[in-house]
A and B are shown apart, each in its own frame.
Chain A
């Protein structure tokens, strides 16, 4: 009766093998590496960088463990720190011909030491949280009110031109916060306008009202439109942050949305908060300027003449070099939106929207310059980079399209870069944490010490008190730990100090199931049951209680997961996973071990579960009352 079918043993073996495989990468530790990422907004790295790095290394006679491209940066791993530093210099020299204006960021970094075949299986080490490896954490609040007012302002501009186009006379359009008010002298015009607005401005909802002798329409964003605006603002801010953080050359920066209007930025390894804040808070600026394509300017481009007066030369970026006028037609703060959207021939294009001021200036400029070229230039750290140079094909105002970038991807990139100029809405740091590297190391040591000593104490007690069954329980507990670490590694969960505490606590609680089982088996033996039957009954009858007690613990774990944030979440994830793995290991796995040991012995006389004490002279209790 205490035998498992073969598939259950196979399941155990498979779980053990997978557990070992995915736990393994955590033991290798980290090795020195060099990380290469893009130093320019216009430069996007792809796998093509790998052979360049490899050739740079072989030219310098340095051997890397591997060079690989992942996400948006390339990493090369080295055997020791000396090689790493040499390699950094070699790569930097090869990739950045001009050290004053680096196009690539080459930074020293860490990479997992685990062998390539494990990485290929996606068996990666757990990601260590900031409290374990040191770094900075920012929680940034996006000012959604500002994003909404900005949007409302652009709508107010659109409204003015729309009313003018349709010849509707109004007595003023005003914006107050997120609310737009249009005044009318005449109710008939109001009705006309209302019909027009319902048709043309689907994102706004209008309420009619009176204002003295005048009539007015009060418009506000519809809730779903407001949500969309907020969503976009948040996404754009995250993109902008990504671009800026890349510059820090941080190994694995975390930039994530949290809730409806917050962004978490975590920069492991970074200790210099001032610099980090400076980079995160930096504003890039976008400028639209008219390009000069006169013969003089062309001569200057070829180096045959000086740059004409009042012009400027930009040598970096798409369409560069180019000579542009110094006057700014429109700047980034006038840009309300830039989206990749195919043009009427279904070619990739970027559709740009400016606010009313920008639109007016664009209209004036384009009226006189049809057929000429316009450039978009992104300024960062006082250095300009050309994003695009395009021919002005007709007169346009606050809405226009940029075409000719060839691929949809290029269109996406351009739209992103145009928007990357600034933040869609201002952000404020509302939470900031920095953890020094030595403190992180300390936390790891202390966390592991707790788990180790606690585990040893429990194991020793179980083995002494329950003898062989205690050994089985201990093995099951060890298996639980293995499985938990494997699952966490598989999910690439972030391990934090509360997470380690949760591992310890989960192990401490998981032993409950085995205590339940062992006590039950003893009780069955005390009641006079034969050993095989006692084992069977012990496991079977303890199961319902184990399930009940784990469900109640799981309810608490889920509550923490749902409502917790930050450290509590790290705790809750591990706690919930631990409850699940412990049900598997304590019941199925330990039973498997017992079955394997005792299951085949037909005439089992005794089991090694410690002393089964019976009151003297007591008769075995009646099984069924």
Chain B
């Protein structure tokens, strides 16, 4: 089977200007939404309390919201999580309250709403582990509402995570630029990082536009995508270098077209495979991995686009010349040496 039956080089760069304008517009839109709407940061960053409760029946979100609001913990967010019976409640930090008790008080309130009573429940799991937990018991030992998860993050922790996240991003950007400048040339390193940061900003733009929750896992996904989609640019740059060496009569534009054309099959197959994995996470990973997988999906899709159309085009605008690459490689490398730059 062969999906890619390409007879001659596709003139990608003829439309470089168009692609760059599209990129720029998307980028500008992403920045616009980031500024106007901002990211919906998870409590890991903002600090606050989260409770995940599971009702025995379909949950009445409005009722839950009203009764939590009545407790006066400030602005409350209540939403379904995964199924219609699971509810996620977010509470902000309030300076005058002892934060670590908030979750317990909210659960107590929800329990009494559901006509249940808080009681310690002791039992032994099938494996033989002893468990004792606070349960909300209704009639006949039934549990009308269960506490699945709580999370409380203090304000200082959140602020630090924010700073650490930015540091990590800076580290990745500098690290990758330095590596590419060392392996290729500064123009490529600038082109690759611009292209891929453009991906990152677009992912963030999506999260801002849809107000999806931006959690630590999403941050991890964003950075992983950054490292991953730079691969793409690396593969194409490798090819550009190779083509400069092999086809001395080609212009820069033709060389870039050739490099992209000859790597396009690999690009799509690889990303397709990774996307299959991510799709599995999106479909089967449950709500916890949902936004992680969403961020990866956007990252992978835009990763293909940006390394094919953006990175190479930027390198072209920056004025990549045969001399930039061949000078560094031509003298001290044997063209037959299999290790001298990859040709994929």
Contact = CB atoms under 8 A, between A and B. Distances in A.
B164 A565 contact: yes
A555 B103 CA distance: 39
Majority SS of interface residues in chain A? Answer: helix
Interface in A516-549: 516, 519-520, 522-523, 537, 540-546, 548-549
A197 to B, nearest CB: 36
A447 B146 contact: no
Given A32-B128, A434-B149, A624 B284 contact: no
Nearest to B126: A81
Interface stretch (A355-363, A364-372, A496-504): A496-504
Contacts, number: 311
A519 B274 CA distance: 16
Interface in B194-230: 216-217, 219-220, 223-224, 226-228, 230
Contacts of B128: 31-33, 78, 80-81, 84-85, 108-110
Interface string A102-126: 0000011110000000000000000
Interface stretch (B10-18, B20-28, B311-319, B336-344): B336-344
Nearest to B196: A552
Interface stretch (A149-157, A168-176, A206-214, A458-466): A458-466
Interface string A437-481: 111001100110111111101100110110000000000000000
Interface in B106-149: 120, 124-134, 146-149
Given A110-B128, A443-B286, A610 B2 contact: yes
A575 interface: yes
Given A269-B131, A572-B220, A516 B266 contact: yes
B270 A568 contact: no
A508 interface: yes
B279 interface: yes
A555 B175 contact: yes
B274 A512 contact: yes
Nearest to A272: B132
Contacts of B154: 141, 428-431
Nearest to B130: A108
Given A430-B154, A438-B148, A465-B269, A274 B104 contact: yes
B298 interface: no
Contact of A434 (B127, B150, B286, B335): B150
A430 B153 contact: yes
B33 interface: no
A566 interface: yes
B264 to A, nearest CB: 10
Given A432-B150, A436-B147, A505 B223 contact: no
B274 A446 contact: no
Contacts of A522: 2
Interface residues of B, number: 96
A543 B223 contact: no
Contact of B284 (A428, A450, A545): A450
A446 B168 contact: no
Nearest to B340: A544
A430 B156 contact: yes
Given A273-B104, A446-B286, A515-B270, A552 B129 contact: no
B134 A273 contact: yes
Contact of B134 (A84, A274, A505, A537): A274
Contacts of B164: 563-565
B342 A544 contact: yes
A523 B264 CA distance: 13
B139 to A, nearest CB: 21
A269 B129 CA distance: 8
Contact of A509 (B161, B169, B228, B247): B228
A383 interface: no
Given A32-B127, A274-B104, A563-B168, A435 B149 contact: yes
A512 B133 contact: no
A201 interface: no
18 contacts: A108-B124, A110-B129, A269-B129, A428-B154, A434-B150, A449-B280, A497-B288, A501-B281, A508-B276, A511-B274, A516-B266, A544-B342, A556-B226, A557-B227, A559-B172, A564-B168, A564-B216, A610-B2
Given A431-B154, A461-B276, A543-B338, 13 more contacts: A84-B128, A109-B128, A274-B134, A438-B148, A450-B280, A505-B281, A542-B344, A553-B230, A562-B171, A568-B220, A575-B224, A610-B2, A615-B7
Interface of A: 29-33, 78, 80-81, 84-85, 107-110, 131, 139, 141, 249, 251, 269, 271-275, 277, 428-439, 442-443, 446-447, 449-455, 457-458, 461-462, 464-465, 497-498, 501, 504-505, 507-509, 511-512, 515-516, 519-520, 522-523, 537, 540-546, 548-549, 551-560, 562-568, 571-572, 575, 610-613, 615, 618, 624-625
